Structure 1
């Protein structure tokens, strides 16, 4: 009986470790060829967040930082784009093997925030699908990121 208990305990612990390491697969620096920028995805507590750390066109023709001018919050329109959180409250669902959270689209006309799903492709890219409403009915915005090699 004791051996059965230890086996079940070990299997539960192994499953928790495996799903946790799978969840951490998104941690790192990711490049968007469409937006020409890097996003640093990091873990804070049980959630993951993505911060814009590089943007090819981060300064305007006067050498001033490009600002978050499309943000619906007027106070946030004065902040530089580099440094903002694009991904918020991301959590991992190990049964569906995907992450869910919020995606801020600074490039859209209204600076909308979408519900989002993140999935890892077989080639190691990270697909982000932002949507309003139901994921298969709502307005969809997508983005594919490639991992940046860290040397």
Structure 2
């Protein structure tokens, strides 16, 4: 009887799980401070990745472009911040979230663990070091393409 109950429960929740997995949050997303637009897309390996496609301030105050100068790979230090793949390896969870990814911060050259979850009005993005409790969350909202000059094709 108990096995039958759990089997029925699993079958009842399976459509919701499959729907959540089938609906990745691809598209354009504006970060909480409204300084960056990230395009989320499905990578070649089926994971979810993200690339910066617009920066509110692509240049420093002196007019020089913001470059990836803190990158641990010295060969990448001359590339502009805009156009960098900053999110890699997100995979769908059973509860409709995307986790197990990494986010790259070109300001510091560091990588952090990264998760995404849908909210009523967008996404909750969380970067952390090892333990989700020790991190920072942001709310991302859908970005409108009208009026933005993209540095990377969208």
TM-score interval for Structure 1 and Structure 2 normalised by the shorter chain? 0.7 to 0.9
CA RMSD of aligned residues (A): 2.7
Partners of 2:96 and 2:142 lie apart in 1 by 18
Matched with 1:104 is 104
1:3-62 deviations in Å (ceiling 9; x for gaps): xxxxxxxx999567523333x1x1000012426111000012411110000001113456
Structure 1: segments with no counterpart, 5+ residues: 1-10
Structure 2: segments with no counterpart, 5+ residues: 1-11, 147-154
Matched with 2:114 is 116
Q: Does 1:131 align with 2:132?
A: no
Larger fraction in helix = 1
Matched with 2:4 is none
Matched with 2:67 is 67
TM-score, normalised with respect to structure 2: 0.73
Q: CA deviation at 1:73?
A: 2.2
Distance 1:97 1:17, change over 3 A: closer
TM-score, normalised with respect to structure 1: 0.75
Matched with 1:142 is 137
Partners of 1:58 and 1:150 lie apart in 2 by 17
Larger RCO (CA under 8 A, 6+ residues apart): 2
